[in-house]
Amino acid sequence: MIFDLQTTSLRELNTALHAPDLSGEFVIEN
C-alpha cells in the first residue's frame, strides 16, 4: 500500500496506519 503525502493528509495517513485491519506493509514516499 502506497501513501502519496502530496495528496494524503497526515491525519488520513495516521488513521490508516492505526487501522485495525492492516496488511502490515506500508511504503512512505516523500
Cell of 26: 506500508
What does the pLDDT read at residue 13? 74
Q: Is the overall model pTM greater than 0.85, yes or no? A: no
What does the pLDDT read at residue 4? 67
Domain that holds residue 19: 1-30
- What's the domain count of the chain? 1
Q: What is the pLDDT of residues 18-27, one digit of tens each?
A: 665 555 555 5
Residues with Cβ within 8 Å of residue 1, at least 6 apart in sequence: 16, 23, 25, 26, 27
Q: What is the pLDDT of residues 1-17, one digit of tens each?
A: 566 666 667 777 777 77
Q: For residue 29, what pLDDT band results from cuts at 50, 70 and 90?
A: low
What values do phi and psi take at 15, rounded to 5? -65, -45
What does the pLDDT read at residue 12? 79
